[in-house]
Amino acid sequence: MARLFGRLFARHGQSELIGEILAGILLGPAILNLIEPSLALAGISELAVFMIILTAGLEMRFADIMDAMRGRGMVLALISFVVPFTSGIAIGAAFDFDVMRMILLGLCISITALPVTVKLLDSMGILHTRIARHALATAVINDVAALFILGIVLNMPQKMTMGDATGTVALSTAKLLVLTLAILSLNKLLKWLDQRKLSNQAIPESLIRYFGPEALFGIVVVFVLVFGTLSELLGFHFVIGAFFAALFIDKQHFLASRYDDLHGTLASVTNGFLAPVFFAYLGLEFQVKTLDEVSFPLVVIMVSILSKLLSGWIGGQLVGMPHREAIGLGCVLNGRGVMELVVAGIAYHKGFIGPTMFSTLVLMGILTTFLTPILFKRAFPADKLNSYIMSGA
């Protein structure tokens, strides 16, 4: 159903992920109640996130993302986090929330979901544009910042002293530095090999000769899983480490024929099956019956959309984007989806938020993901988008 709905929307010039999310809402508890969220579907959804990130890594270069994070790019990322985060804090204060719920609401509003952003950019054919580079770099920084703060908040004792707070912040900072060091060390090693004219294809080819050509897919998956596991062990979501590991996999590390085979296999498995299941699962998570009031969800959704649009436009102007491109960047940054649901789910299961706030955050994640391609197409009509892509911006 997700695949069918996705193709129907694509034929009418819309993003496939809108149809895929609607398929989940239709089949799930919100409408027909034919399928309910389950551990099995959650497992497939987690695998889909991993494969979406891995597929994106083959389409991008590590240097491009790092360049987008430097200078004004970092300012853009910080603005797109601070403005929505502050807006979430303000909403919490207006509805008389305690400090913990105010922070958690701010974190969920500030997130830009990396897997959703990747799928959206890829579906519109703009994964190689300047918008994509800044959007993905911003998504990574926003998600790392949100998970970093979440890790500090969840580890804070209920009755904490200044020493407890300082120790928790120091530990989380040390973990982030370890992950950063591992990523930069691998990048340094690969550059060192290139400078000495050592072929980076030698190791993959040796492994393929030993395990067989069919094992290429598995070898790449294991490599990326190592970094994803390290990221998760340090208290961050596994997609952060997996994304950076996937960026290291480019054409210079494989023979051309092997790279094409790998890319084709990933595209078939991910876009043909796992990605539709993932976005449909987001739709399954939505349960309207727990929303007993309209004002709070309405305010959260409006503020979450407007704060990302505003911060994306301001940040885009700062990095030298023209008006339309900056608005397009703000639209792309609105997609929350999986990462926001991860934070909301952790907070809900830990007892920090109740069912009403959790359902509101799920609704926000679904609607912002749903509206992102629609808003982008309003900012970039088909003719303008084609010209933008052709310009190689």
- Using a 10 angstrom Cβ sphere, with 0-12 exposed, 13-18 middle and 19 or more buried, the burial of residue 210 is exposed
321/324 Cα distance (integer angstroms): 8
Q: Would you state the pLDDT for residue 314?
A: 95
Nearest CA among 382, 366, 333, 375 for reference residue 111: 333
Residues in Cβ contact with 274 at an 8 Å cutoff, skipping those fewer than 6 apart: 44, 47, 48, 51, 52
Residues in Cβ contact with 224 at an 8 Å cutoff, skipping those fewer than 6 apart: 50, 53, 54, 57, 242, 245, 246, 249
Domain boundaries 2-156+166-386, corresponding CATH code: 1.20.1530.20
pTM over 0.85: no
96/93 Cα distance (integer angstroms): 5
Q: What is the pLDDT of residues 120-146, one digit of tens each?
A: 888 778 888 889 888 988 888 887 788
Q: What is the pLDDT of residues 53-95, one digit of tens each?
A: 787 777 777 777 777 677 788 899 899 999 999 999 999 999 9
What is the chain's Cα-based Rg? 21
Measure the CA angle with vertex 73, ends 68 and 79; round to 5°. 140
Length of the chain: 393
Q: Is 287 left (phi over 0), alpha (psi -120 to 50) or beta?
A: beta
- Does residue 160 sit in helix, strand or coil? coil
Low-confidence residues in the chain, pLDDT < 70: 13, 68, 154-165, 197-204, 250-257, 290, 337-338, 392-393
Q: Where are the domains of the chain?
A: 2-156+166-386
